[in-house]
Amino acid sequence: MMAADYMRQKLTSFTEAVFPVRGVRDQRQHHLLRPGNEIVTSLPLQMALYFNVFFFPFWIITCIVMLDLKFLYLQEINQFIYITVYVIMSGTEVMRLYLGYLGNLQERVPELAGFWLLTLVLQLPLCAFILLIGSMPFPVERAVHIVFLGFVVFEVIIGYIALKVMSNHQVMKFHLQQFDDVIEMQNGHPYSETDPLT
Q: pLDDT tens for residues 137-182?
A: 889 999 999 999 999 999 999 999 998 888 888 877 776 776 666 6
pLDDT at site 190: 52
Mean pLDDT of the chain: 80
Q: What pLDDT was estimated at residue 176? A: 72
For the chain, list residues with pLDDT below 70. Answer: 1-38, 175, 178-184, 188-198
DSSP summary character for residue 72: G
pLDDT for the residue 167: 85
Give the separation between CA 36 and CA 115, rounded to whole angstroms.
24
This prediction has a pTM of: 0.70
Q: Exposed e or buried b for every residue in 171-189, given b needs 16+ CB within 10 A? A: ebbeeeeeeeeeeeeeeee
> What is the Rg, in whole angstroms, of the alpha carbon atoms belonging to the chain?
25
pLDDT given at position 28: 42
